Amino acid sequence: MDTTKIKKGLGRGLSSLIGETKTEININKVSISDLQSNKFQPRKIFDVDSLQDLTNSIKERGIIQPIIVRKSSSDNSKYEIIAGERRWLAAQKAGLHEVPVVVADVDDLKSLEFAIVENVQRNDLNVIEEARGYHRLIKEFSYDQEKVAQFIGKSRSHIANFLRLLTLPEVVLKLIETKKLSAGHAKVLVGLDNAEFVANKIVEKNLSVRQSENFVKIFKKKKSPIFSKDANLQSLENSIKEKIGLNVLIKNKKNNTGSLVFEYKDLDQLNKIIEVIKSNY
């Protein structure tokens, strides 16, 4: 079978990805019912208004850019979409029976790469879908953050920041996916123990990102630095505790001034401390 590269008109990112990938030289027309959704499609939510605009365009002009597909691994009579799922959905809404396709010979990794690049370059993904796409490259195809960054053409910090969003509670992720919270709001919420509560308050009060940042400051707990106690002081505390049976805390500053604290639980223990001091001084 004759093969060729997919032309640059399909988009610089997709072309460079496909590279030497073998494809059928002709653009074929196949039945809409013979196409299947890409199992690696990172985008799960399609904007209704945008999809309707594309549907109207297809009704007037048809599908200008062919859909990139590969043979289905589960059904040889079907094709799995690699890039162009939105066009396929719009074509169905427009009442088309056939769509133009280019058949590519690619593996699962390439299929995921194509889907991510197509969506990221066209800003079709929300931040959570984009983050999950990156995470899938790392988890299922052994990418590291540096490799994902080079592949997408973004900085490593961009990839790291997106992946951190996936640490948010599922309820918060849903609010971001459904556009009730923006990407800016999401970044404010990362790392909060009470992210779900704060997220709901942001939605309820319709706070801007700046207002949310100020709101979050109320809930962020300041963590006290942890100091390791001198071993000699610790030993001395334990020695006194063994002799009098009470907890003792010695606080010693750099200039060797400080305080000696005895903890007591009732008046009897307090009297015991007083008796010891009086009998020795």
Kindly report the CATH number assigned to the domain that includes residue 80.
3.90.1530.10
**In terms of DSSP H, where are the helices of the chain?**
12-18, 48-61, 85-94, 108-121, 127-141, 145-152, 156-165, 170-177, 183-189, 195-205, 209-217, 231-244, 267-280
Q: Do 33 and 52 belong to one domain?
A: yes
Q: Are residues 245 and 219 in the same domain?
A: no
Q: How far apart are CA 44 and CA 265, in angstroms?
A: 60
The answer to whether residue 171 sits within a structural domain is no
How high is the pLDDT of residue 252?
Answer: 83
Cβ count near 206 (within 10 Å): 8
Look at residue 220 in the predicted model and tell me its pLDDT.
64
Say if residue 45 is in the same domain as residue 72: yes
Position 172 in a domain: no
Determine the structural domain holding residue 140 and report its residue range. Answer: 127-166
- Do 113 and 204 lie in a common domain? no
pLDDT on residue 57:
87
Q: Pairing mode, if any, of strands 67-71 and 3-4?
A: unpaired
Q: Is residue 173 in some structural domain? A: no
pLDDT for 21 equals: 52
Q: Are residues 96 and 39 in the same domain?
A: yes
One domain, residues 118 and 137: no
User: Is residue 218 pLDDT above 50, yes or no?
Assistant: yes
Residue 160 shares a structural domain with residue 211 = no
Domain count, the chain: 4
Q: Encoding tokens for residue 59?
A: 């009704």
In the chain, % of residues over pLDDT 90: 17
- The larger pLDDT score, comparing residue 175 to residue 245, is at 175
Tell me: do 9 and 85 sit in the same domain.
yes
Question: Mean pLDDT over residues 123-132, rounded?
Answer: 79
**121 and 23 in a common domain:** yes
Q: Residue 5: its pLDDT value, please? A: 38
Instruction: Determine, yes or no, domain membership for 53.
Output: yes
Q: Are residues 8 and 117 in the same domain?
A: yes
Greatest mean pLDDT range, 32-46, 75-89, 113-127, 174-188? 174-188
Most confident option among 109-123, 187-201, 229-243: 187-201
- Examine the domain organization and report whether 52 and 160 are in the same domain: no
Active-site position among 80, 85, 113, 118? 85
Which of 223, 240, 257 terminates a domain? The answer is 223
Mean pLDDT of 17-35: 67
pLDDT in tens, 231-281: 788 888 887 777 777 788 888 887 888 888 888 877 877 887 888 778 776
Q: 85 catalytic, yes or no?
A: yes
Which pTM does this prediction carry? 0.55
Q: Which residue has the tokens 């223990």?
A: 269
Say if residue 216 is in the same domain as residue 265.
no
